[in-house]
Amino acid sequence: MALPAVLQNLALPVVASPMFIVSYPELVLAQCKAGIVGSFPALNARPAELLDEWLTQIQTSLAEHKAANPDAVIGPIAVNQIVHQSNTRLEHDVRVCVEHRIPIFITSLRAPSKEIIDAVHSYGGIVLHDVINLRHAAKALEAGVDGLILVAAGAGGHAGTTSPFALTGEVRKMFDGPIVLSGAIANGGSILAAQAMGADLAYMGTRFIATREAHAVESYKHAIVNSSASDIIYTNLFTGVHGNYIRESIVNAGLDPDALPESDKTKMNFGGDKAKAWKDIWGAGQGVGLMDDVPSVGGLVARLKQEYEAAKSRLRI
């Protein structure tokens, strides 16, 4: 199946993943101007009224950039919606994004309702849904999403434990539509590897935290540069959903990363006081050991493109 038009003709087959407290307008704009999909969680815009301002700012700036650079490849905007009862803003945030005709919705946790999907489809938008296993993928496809984001082992933030090789292969057997793959993708060669496994695009988050435009404290960026895969801790303590976090930030919070208690999954919370309490716990994927600097987004994407083409050349593709 051909990719939806909005995912074609990118400068690089990459969707920048939406990251809590990190993906703000400056980062999204840099990603889109570099020619990849730029995204952010709707819940990053606080209070809720700020979401409309952010979207207006981003869309206006991209339109001006395109007018000044008519030949530039401009990546589309994606907004992440947390589909969970603890997200009391969901209806508001979906409505605002539909009013702005956001081309890509990224939904997480639970499959989106028919009402959400129909609203996005009403103007030609698409819905991509995060999944960590085959069962979740089947549920999302049954709900009517347009594509799947496979959050495999090694991905930053909320991630699964299944190998990207296994998860991509199993999902591709049942679905011939758009697949975006995440899991320690940190350079151009791994972007090509994702495609070789059967994915259409790569989903990259942690690499964009360690960039100049990311809305992250310098100590967070430096922790990524100074960490290796062994410094990534997998736990569900902080949100009720298992995810990968940097050991240093857990230690700084006064906790023992090797003896963390289990969280009650029934008390999951996203965007409320509990989430704010853990804002200094830093999510990151196992690819941190491949990240040695804090470049601009434009410089990073240019490097990724060179690495991607070099990998293709080595394989004579």
Domain-embedded: residue 284: no
> Is residue 89 located within the same domain as residue 234?
no
Q: What is the CATH number of the domain that holds 175?
A: 3.20.20.70
Which regions of 140-190 does DSSP assign to beta strands (E)? 147-151, 157-158, 179-182
Domain-embedded: residue 282: no
Q: What is the DSSP letter of 3?
A: P
Q: Which domain holds residue 225?
A: 218-277
> Is residue 99 located within the same domain as residue 181?
yes
Mean pLDDT by 10 residues, the chain (317 residues): 92 97 97 98 97 98 97 98 94 98 96 97 98 96 98 93 96 97 97 97 98 97 97 92 93 93 66 61 96 98 98 88
Beta bridge partners of 202: 14, 181
> Is residue 54 located within the same domain as residue 17?
yes
Domain-embedded: residue 287: no
Domain-embedded: residue 290: no
> Is residue 136 located within the same domain as residue 257?
no
Separation in Å, CA 161 to CA 10, 231, 234: 29, 17, 9
> Is residue 85 located within the same domain as residue 209?
yes
What residue spans of 178-256 are helical by DSSP H? 188-197, 206-209, 218-226, 247-252
CA–CA distance, 10 with 50 (Å, rounded to integer)? 28
pLDDT of residue 277: 58
CA–CA distance, 177 with 10 (Å, rounded to integer)? 18
| Burial status of residue 315 (CB atoms within 10 A of its CB: 0-12, 13-18, 19 or more) | exposed
Residue whose pair of structure tokens reads 């690499």 in the numeric block = 207
> Is residue 163 located within the same domain as residue 228?
no
Half-sphere exposure of 119 (CA within 13 A, CB side): 18
Domain-embedded: residue 24: yes
Domain-embedded: residue 289: no
* Contacts of residue 227, Cβ cutoff 8 Å, sequence gap at least 6: 246, 247, 248, 284, 288, 289
pLDDT of residue 239: 85
> Is residue 43 located within the same domain as residue 97?
yes
Cβ–Cβ < 8 Å for 209, 173: no
Cβ–Cβ < 8 Å for 129, 112: yes
pTM of structure: 0.94
Domain-embedded: residue 310: yes
pLDDT of residue 263: 78
Q: Which of 256, 271, 236 is nearest to 42 (CA)?
A: 271
pLDDT of residue 176: 96
Residue whose pair of structure tokens reads 């990240």 in the numeric block = 291
> Is residue 112 located within the same domain as residue 178?
yes
Domain-embedded: residue 51: yes
pLDDT of residue 269: 56
Cβ–Cβ < 8 Å for 193, 312: no
Using only C-alpha atoms, the chain has a radius of gyration, in whole angstroms, of 18
> Is residue 183 located within the same domain as residue 268?
no
pLDDT of residue 267: 55
3-state secondary structure of 123: coil
How many independent structural domains does the chain possess? 2
Q: Which of 287, 289, 243 is nearest to 263 (CA)?
A: 243
CA–CA distance, 78 with 227 (Å, rounded to integer)? 29
pLDDT of residue 215: 97
> Is residue 227 located within the same domain as residue 206?
no
> Is residue 151 located within the same domain as residue 122?
yes
Whether omega before 47 lies within 30 degrees of 0, making that bond cis, reads yes
> Is residue 166 located within the same domain as residue 105?
yes
